[in-house]
Structure 1
């Protein structure tokens, strides 16, 4: 059977604040834990007023401490923003506190704009060093070798699982070359999904951590007790997508009855292109869409995501999704 996991962007809703966003993410993770999802990931974004997970490792620690068995990790840490040693220490610490439950997903994009990258004291050309930095990070998390002058304490010997994330062919090819699991961000960049999966599988070389390709793909899911209610819930994320496209990201807005009343035709076209892979509806429709996505991609694991304004509706969406996914 296909595994199912959750990606949460830790949204800050209109009228709310970061504390509320983080507490709601924690409650949402507890629901995912209770419902049997495999893993729960949060992502690093900077200078985004509607996302509370900028200090990603800190948020992971909070979630892991509040859950029992679910794996918790990053989807992802944007490695160009960080020294590999610091990331190894952070995730080595998390692995020491929550052994066997931590994932380290890595992205190549800075996760922000140029001015914010400079404020982070990192630069866009750092992305060009991504393969080298991944291998350096792997070495810090592996067993120390004789004569090693710099060691991550904690971190060394933890062998915290590393994943490569991407929305292009670059990370797919690198994950294949290094023999690492690969997750594709088809929830916001669907265009190259099938090509990236094909490239990853064709080029995969077994490693000491993985003997066969392991692929994950993300899909937007808005599930409810009826198709109409699910469609309405999805309008919060549609507004968020439109805000990013127009360069005006903000806090997550409440859903609306008619999305065409708040977005123009150009915005709607941009939003719909990002929702190429989406399961929006009641239980039967969501199950059919998830089955279709699995058949199309052949992935080992589906990562569901969806920014829903109200926490109770978010949890209900996850409950409907869990029931719909059973046996797929």
Structure 2
């Protein structure tokens, strides 16, 4: 009977397989390792050992043989007993016993069984498909010394430059970085120039409009009595935003509705996204602005928010 076949099958699933009246084959998980001398990578595995002291039958091996061969448990025990007797006889006669994919057994001068494990199979199922890998060593220092020895015999004027880092790559990298920085600064400068231009253009348009209004004259045959009105110009750096709109006509509708509700609504210009902003009102005092914002969020618009900006 090929007893080692059944032992090998059980070693995949169990950490201890006892051969009654002979000994036990044990497995222990070993982590992956690298042999620096041979440049070999070894995956994790189950290391196999043999303990002659563990001989009490636990029924595992016999039950497995009985299930595989479809025989009674007692007959399986008899087969194991015969195989054990044969192995002991071989060891007494100084013969080595080779168990395929498990290892080799021998009897030493002290009458003890020695075991040399086999590395042909990895019984760790987690490492299935992983094999040992050998990677040739990279002999950088030896190659460097070899090149230096050649240079002493055959001096080449271009050799030192080849051995150094390529300067044109360094210059190219510097140029790329410089272009990136200049592009960024240039784009930022361009954006600032556009913003300044837009602001100046807006201020100029407002000034011209005010002049035209001031210079306009109206001829009325039956003039009404003069009425003096005090107009309060909205001031302050704290603005409660009601919304921002792409179409300016929508702003006028919103302003009309808000004024009908009693707010001092107005437009405060276009934000950086090109949207026309409408405010409920502007305040000089932060506390007053926050109080008004709280009231508006509670009673009118929960999406209202506070913009802190100097519009002058």
Taking structure 2 as the reference length, what is the TM-score of the superposition? 0.19
Larger relative contact order (CA 8 Å, sep ≥ 6): 1
Taking structure 1 as the reference length, what is the TM-score of the superposition? 0.19
Q: Which has the higher strand share?
A: 2
